[in-house]
Amino acid sequence: MGQRGNVVLLSALAAMTSLHVLACRKRAPDDSHSRDASSKSGDASAEGGSLAELDAATLPVAPAAPTPAPAPTTTELAALQPPPMPFTGTYRCFGGMKLEQSGRIVTSTIHKGTTDTVLACTAGIDTCTGTVREIQMLSGRPPKVMHVKPVTLTRLSGGDVVYVVGSSERKAARGDQTLCQRR
């Protein structure tokens, strides 16, 4: 045969070996498929069939994996949430509490002598959670924050608000809950 014939035979042998290795990696771990393939490979090689034809006939075709839907953005999630109930209005508590709302932010300032009570909370559907600060205002001195406490406003079905102030230890004390009727 000569050197050229030997090179062609070695190339063909290398190609068949790589196809066979590749086919072994693709096979499912099911034993029935591997037994059928091994018995057919003997038959196919005896009949002159190629390994590529054998692998195409015996390997199951796996369906393509579905691509996942993209995750919603923050803007899309915000659009799905219902808008907060308006807390804006005047209420019959603390000498006339007036709430103002801009978007989801609710604020109020109550003046009592030399002390201002400033409320700021973030509105949800029917609750508003945030803080209330007592600020001492003395002439000739800068404002001094006396207390900062957590606050929760809960809107009732009639439009009234339940005003709950927690202590600085985050425990609600007796008497910290006030019903504020809407005017």
Q: What is the DSSP letter of 81?
A: S
Q: Which two structure tokens, joined as six digits, stand for 27? A: 């096979």
The per-residue pLDDT for 6 is 57
Q: What is the DSSP letter of 7?
A: H
The per-residue pLDDT for 121 is 96
- Per-residue pLDDT band for 46 (boundaries 50, 70, 90) equals very low
Sign of the dihedral defined by the CA atoms of residues 47, 49, 50, 52, in that order: negative
**8 Å CB contact between 155 and 144:** no
Asked if residue 70 has pLDDT above 70, the reply is yes
Q: Can you tell me the distance from the alpha carbon of 136 to that of 130, in angstroms, rounded to the nearest whole number?
A: 20
Asked if residue 37 has pLDDT above 70, the reply is no
This model's pTM is above 0.85? no
Residues in the chain: 183
Q: Which two structure tokens, joined as six digits, stand for 176? A: 């910290």
For 128-155, write each residue's pLDDT tens digit: 999 999 999 888 889 899 999 999 999 9
Ramachandran bin of 168, using left for φ above 0, alpha for ψ from -120 to 50, beta for the remaining angles = alpha
For 86-133, write each residue's pLDDT tens digit: 899 999 998 899 999 999 999 999 888 889 999 999 998 889 999 999
Which residues are registered as beta bridge partners of 110? 117
In the chain, domain spans: 3-58, 82-182
